[in-house]
Amino acid sequence: MGSAGLSRLHGLFAVYKPPGLKWKHLRDTVELQLLKGLNAGKPPAPKQRVRFLLGPMEGSEEKELTLTATSVPSLVNHPLVCGPAFTHLKVGMGHRLDVQASGVLVLGVGHGCRLLTDMYNAHLTKDYTVRGLLGKATDDFCEDGRVVEKTTYDHVTREKLDRILAMIQGSHQKALVMYSNLDLKTQEAYEMAVRGLIRPMNKSPMLITGIRCLHFAPPEFLLEVQCMHETQKELRKLVHEIGLELKTTAVCSQVRRTRDGFFTLDSALLRTQWDLHNIQDAIRAAAPQVAAELEKSLGPQLDTKELPSREWSWESQGPSSTLGLERGAGH
């Protein structure tokens, strides 16, 4: 599998991170499974070498010894002698998720590690579902944190919650325009707004481009949040602040990412699918969309040489040192 499998490990793919799993552990697990798949193939036939072996001379009654030229296999490159062919694989991590959060997590292998930087520079939005619980406040905004306050919530209605969410979205949309450094009176700004491409030029605080309530059954409520430059802690704090605006308190019981840029839950590999063949298939399936979306978002800023072609031919690609792979010998 070695060289053939190696040539198909360029690009981006998404996995589903379950809650309670650290992103470093996830990355190490994926790397281990890829190395296991690359090293699982049957090793090539050993090269033959000529050796002169001492043996009895044929037809001699006096048992004289002579040297005879014999072809024997060379075991210099045998796995039992030099160890596995692949000992290290660089797997890049996209926008991270903390331990408690779950959902879509994008990883890159080979040229995909550089594409992760392009994804960051494109300032793509991400979707989350955030579950809240009314009636108490904790020190870390999580449901299982240390309780610091309990309140009533009988006065909270769906209409009041929707009103608060509309105010939050409006204020963040104004901030998005401010951080984009665009003059709204120009044709360029108008065209970007129509195409939904208004993005902050540099780093910024969390910006929410859309927020709505999906389910409301006090004390529980479920929000859908579309945002960028966020951390999961900021999303939990957002639930706390919504509770304060509603004249009560609230904690966050779940943060789940459902989309990261152009990767969704449908394209994310489950834990049982973190193996070489499934990851190769995922990279191949995502390559055309990765190229199209990054070219659309970054335009002239993007080095198209780094993008996978939309008519990508895996068979034409050979092993490359840029993949971040190391072939070990004698390790």
Q: What is the pLDDT of residue 194?
A: 67
Q: Domain of 253?
A: 125-260
Q: How many domains would you assign to the chain? A: 3
> Is the pLDDT score of 234 beyond 60?
yes
Q: What is the pLDDT of residue 322?
A: 33
Determine, yes or no, domain membership for 203.
yes
Confidence of residue 202 (pLDDT cuts 50, 70, 90): confident
What's the whole-number mean pLDDT along residues 242-248? Answer: 98
8 A C-beta contact, residue 41 and residue 89? no
| One domain for residues 114 and 173 | no
Q: Strand locations in the chain, DSSP E?
A: 11-17, 48-56, 65-73, 86-89, 91-93, 102-109, 126-134, 136-138, 147-150, 207-217, 220-228, 250-260, 263-264, 268-269, 325-327
Determine, yes or no, domain membership for 308.
no
Q: What is the pLDDT of residue 301?
A: 60
> Is the pLDDT score of 122 beyond 70?
yes
Instruction: Give the 3-state secondary structure of residue 200.
Output: coil
Q: What is the pLDDT of residue 247?
A: 97
Q: What is the pLDDT of residue 318?
A: 36
Determine, yes or no, domain membership for 331.
no
Determine, yes or no, domain membership for 95.
yes
> Is the pLDDT score of 320 beyond 60?
no
> Is the pLDDT score of 2 beyond 70?
no
Per cent of the chain over pLDDT 90 is 57
Higher pLDDT, 326 or 181: 181
Residue 207 CB: number of other CB atoms within 10 A? 21
Determine, yes or no, domain membership for 299.
no
**Residues recognised as catalytic:** 98
> Is the pLDDT score of 253 beyond 90?
yes
pTM of the model: 0.81
What's the whole-number mean pLDDT along residues 307-327? Answer: 42
> Is the pLDDT score of 325 beyond 50?
no
Q: What is the pLDDT of residue 280?
A: 94
| One domain for residues 146 and 243 | yes
The one-letter amino acid at 91: V
Instruction: Report residue 197: phi and psi, to 5°.
Output: -110, 15
8 A C-beta contact, residue 127 and residue 226? yes
